[in-house]
């Protein structure tokens, strides 16, 4: 039995180690990571460079894209590097850093979703007071509080690992995930699990309650809108946010609310893909596909920076949008 102070490294054994599956893993993760980088960097660049998008909703969207970049960059590059080098090791300090930054980005992501729900609530339920309530200073404070909340929770959550002793170095996951680390602990992690579950559940319940309250009020206001066109416009601004919340919460719950005392399952790595790899790729698509302003700003930026000859050949995009 080795305690955590003697553990020098862990083995990330999330996926089968056959040559064919290793190559498939490299190709899949590389494509997913490049897509996430391109999509999220594009949204951030478009919002920063387009003055017509300098509004609270797009400010929050740019912050969400930055968090998506952070969360996927914590896990996927290390997994890709291990596959390319045909190794499974990660140092103890590297594992702690993965846990800290992943929890930090995920928690701040959830808090930002609450802020975005409040933004939609004010925009639809109190449109006359929107500019006064969601002013520049208030928006910066809300995003800052989301980041600080993520930092606070990540510090508390990661701090528990310093008290845990490990019986094994093998992690049935492609990154250092807390439920998997608790499964290989040989100390009495009962209190740690209960503390983490209670604290995380309370935090998640408060966030979910705030989002649910916001959308109850939003839909009540939408149903009072007399025109059908007005109802459709209001719903179209809220629908992407609801899809993102459902995608993130449902997939994350499958991983973090399953009992940690049970044996590892071969499905654990694939379940984790749906909450830590898929959302950073899908979120930009969900928010941009139905957003005409964002698409127009994107093509204007492309037509502005591309060569003149290429711009002429693709001028139909500007006409179309």
- On the 0-12 / 13-18 / 19+ scale of CB atoms within 10 A, 248 is buried
Q: What is the pLDDT, as a whole number, of residue 101? A: 94
Q: How far apart are CA 218 and CA 122, in angstroms?
A: 9
Which residues partner with 11 through β-bridges? 89, 170
The residue-averaged pLDDT of 239-258 equals: 69
Phi-psi region of 50 (alpha: psi -120 to 50; beta: other; left: phi over 0): beta
Mean pLDDT of 14-29: 82
The pLDDT of residue 10 is above 80: yes
Whether 223 has a pLDDT exceeding 90, the answer reads no
Half-sphere exposure of 6 (CA within 13 A, CB side): 7
- Can you tell me the distance from the alpha carbon of 159 to that of 96, in angstroms, rounded to the nearest whole number? 9
- What is the C-alpha to C-alpha distance for residues 181 and 170, in angstroms, rounded to an integer? 9
Please report the domains of the chain, with CATH numbers, ordered by start residue: 4-290 (1.20.1070.10)
List of residues 6+ apart from 100 with CB closer than 8 A: 154, 155, 158
C-beta separation of 105 from 23 below 8 A: no
- Chain centroid to CA 108: how far? 9
Q: How far apart are CA 122 and CA 241, in angstroms?
A: 15
Between CA 83 and CA 133 the distance in angstroms is: 49
Q: How confident is the model at residue 301 (pLDDT cuts 50, 70, 90)?
A: confident
What is the end-to-end Cα distance of the chain in Å, rounded?
64
Q: Do residues 151 and 109 lie in contact, with contact meaning Cβ atoms separated by under 8 Å?
A: no
pLDDT tens for 32-72 read 999 999 999 999 999 998 888 888 989 999 999 999 999 99
Q: What is the average pLDDT across 110-125? A: 87
- Select the more confidently predicted residue: 95 or 246: 95
Over residues 279-291, mean pLDDT: 80
- Nearest CA to 242 out of 106, 71, 107, 120 is that of 120
Element (H, E) at 10: strand 9-12
Percentage of the chain beyond pLDDT 90 is 18
pLDDT recorded at residue 191: 63
pLDDT value of position 184: 81
Residue 277 is predicted with a pLDDT of 85
8-state DSSP, 171: E
Where residue 239 falls among pLDDT bands split at 50, 70, 90? Answer: confident
Largest CA distance in the chain: 69
What DSSP character marks residue 263?
Answer: P
More confident residue, 103 or 8: 103
pLDDT at 194: 59
Q: What is the pLDDT of residue 128?
A: 86
pTM of the model: 0.83
Residue of 162 and 92 predicted with greater confidence: 92
Q: For residue 307, what pLDDT is reported?
A: 58
Q: Which two tokens stand for residue 28?
A: 């899949």
161-206 residue pLDDT tens: 777 778 888 888 888 887 788 778 776 655 665 576 677 677 777 8
How far is 25 from 12, CA to CA, in rounded Å?
14
Q: Which of 76, 78, 83 is nearest to 35 (CA)?
A: 76
């Amino acid at each position: 039995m080795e305690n955590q102070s003697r553990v020098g490294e862990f083995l990330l054994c999330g996926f089968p180690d056959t040559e064919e599956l290793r190559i498939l893993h490299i190709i899949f993760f590389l494509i997913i990571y490049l897509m996430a980088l391109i999509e999220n960097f594009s949204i951030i660049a478009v919002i920063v460079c387009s003055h017509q998008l300098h509004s609270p909703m797009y400010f929050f969207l740019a912050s969400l894209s930055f968090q998506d970049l952070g969360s996927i960059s914590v896990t996927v590059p290390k997994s890709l590097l291990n596959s390319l080098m045909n190794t499974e090791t990660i140092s103890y300090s590297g594992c702690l850093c993965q846990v800290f930054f992943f929890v930090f980005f995920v928690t701040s992501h959830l808090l930002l979703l609450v802020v975005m729900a409040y933004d939609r609530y004010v925009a639809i339920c109190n449109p006359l007071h929107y500019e006064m309530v969601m002013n520049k200073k208030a928006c910066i404070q809300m995003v800052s509080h989301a980041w600080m909340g993520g930092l606070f929770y990540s510090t508390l959550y990661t701090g528990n690992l310093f008290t845990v002793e490990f019986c094994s170095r093998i992690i049935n996951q492609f990154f250092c995930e807390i439920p998997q680390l608790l499964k290989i602990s040989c100390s009495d992690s009962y209190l740690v699990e209960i503390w983490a579950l209670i604290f995380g559940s309370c935090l998640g319940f408060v966030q979910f309650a705030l989002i649910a309250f916001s959308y109850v009020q939003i839909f009540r206001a939408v149903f009072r809108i007399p025109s059908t066109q007005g109802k459709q416009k209001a719903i179209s601004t809220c629908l992407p946010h609801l899809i993102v919340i459902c995608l993130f919460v449902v997939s994350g719950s499958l991983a973090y609310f399953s009992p940690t005392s049970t044996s590892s399952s071969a499905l654990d790595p694939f379940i984790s893909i749906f909450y830590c790899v898929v959302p950073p790729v899908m979120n930009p698509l969900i928010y941009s596909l139905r957003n005409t302003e964002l698409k127009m700003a994107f093509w204007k930026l492309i037509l502005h920076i591309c060569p003149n000859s290429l711009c002429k050949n693709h001028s139909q995009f500007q006409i179309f949008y």
